[in-house]
Amino acid sequence: MKSLRIMILAFIADMQMSYASNSTQNQSCSCTENMPVCGVRGGGAAALQKIAGGSIAIKHEFPWQAALLDKKKKLLCGAVVIRQEWVASASHCLQGYKPHEITVVAGEHHLLKDEGVEQRVVGQEIFVHPQYVAVTEENDIGLIHLAQALRFDGKTVMPICMPTPDHLTDGYPHTSCVVTGWGSEKEGGDKSNVLLKVVVPLISDEKCRDCFLKEHRKVTDQMLCAGYPQGGKDSCQADSGGPLACRKEGNVYFLAGLVSWGKGCAEPNLPGVYTEVAHYLSWMNAIING
C-alpha cells in the first residue's frame, strides 16, 4: 500500500514537472483552458503499441490531429494543432484556397458522426511557404491562422509539441513515430471515415535518396522519410498535411514531420516522405509571432 502511494506521489510530481517544462502559454493561468501542455496522447493510450496497414485510433488519442474540409465539407487533407489560433499543414493542401473556403475541424474522430466535442473553425489567413515548389514538393509546409481560437480542454483538443532545432531527425534513424489521418488505405482507395494510425520507423536521408533514385525523385535535407523495407504500412492520399509524431522524453510527442508525398502507398522500399518540421521553426515563428 505504502509503495503504491509513493508511486502515485512520484507520478504526480512527474506530471507537474512535465506540466511546468511544457509551459508555452500564460503561466499564471490556473484554469483548465489554456492548459500549457503539449504532445500528450489521450484516450487512455499506453505507449506505442486503414491509413495503409494501420489501425483505428482510440477517440482523442491524438488530440492535435485536425481535418481540413473544403467548401463542400469534404475531407481535403490533415493538419496539426500547434497553437490555439494556428494549425500547420502541407503547402500542397492549401495552395489555391481562400482562407474562408477551408474549415479546420479539431476534436474529430469519426468524420460522419457528431460527438459534440468537435471544434469547427474557418481559416482567417493562409501562409504557403514562399519557396514551395509543386513539382518537387520542396518546402511543402503551410500555416492556417484560424478565425477563432481553439479551446484546449486537456482531452479532445490539445497541441502537439514543436520540435527543437536538435530534433533534426537524420540523427535518429529507427526512431518509431506514428502517423495519423483519414486518408485512403491504399493508392486510389476510399478515404477512411474514422481516424487511423500507423507506427513507422524513421529512415536516414541517405537510404531514402537511394530508394527514390529509380523514381527520379529528389529527397532533400528538408525532407524526412519513414517506412518499412517490406512496405505494408504507410501514410497515403488525403493523409497529406497531417502529423508524423515522434516520442521524446516520457510519453510526450513532437511534430517531426508533415505528410507530403510518396510513390504509391506502402510499397516495399518506397517510404513515405514528410516535410521535416525542425527545418522550418524560424519561418513558422516569424509568422506566428509576427
Residues labelled catalytic: 92, 140, 240
Closer residue to ligand 4AZ in complex, CB, 85/138: 138
**How many residues sit in the footprint of ligand 4AZ (CB under 6 A)?**
11
Minimum CB separation of residue 259 from ligand 4AZ in Å reads 5
Minimum CB separation of residue 188 from ligand 4AZ in Å reads 10
Minimum CB separation of residue 244 from ligand 4AZ in Å reads 11
Minimum CB separation of residue 35 from ligand 4AZ in Å reads 32
Closer residue to ligand 4AZ in complex, CB, 161/236: 236
Residue 280: all three cell numbers together: 522550418
Residue nearest to ligand 4AZ (CB): 262
What's the rounded Cα separation, in Å, for the pair 265 and 229? 13
Closer residue to ligand 4AZ in complex, CB, 144/208: 208
Contact set for ligand 4AZ, span 223-282 (CB under 6 A) = 234-237, 239-240, 259, 261-262, 265, 272
Closer residue to ligand 4AZ in complex, CB, 152/274: 274
Residue 179 sits in the site that holds ligand 4AZ (CB under 6 A): no
Closer residue to ligand 4AZ in complex, CB, 234/276: 234
Minimum CB separation of residue 266 from ligand 4AZ in Å reads 7
Q: Write out the residues near ligand 4AZ by the rule CB under 6 A.
A: 234-237, 239-240, 259, 261-262, 265, 272
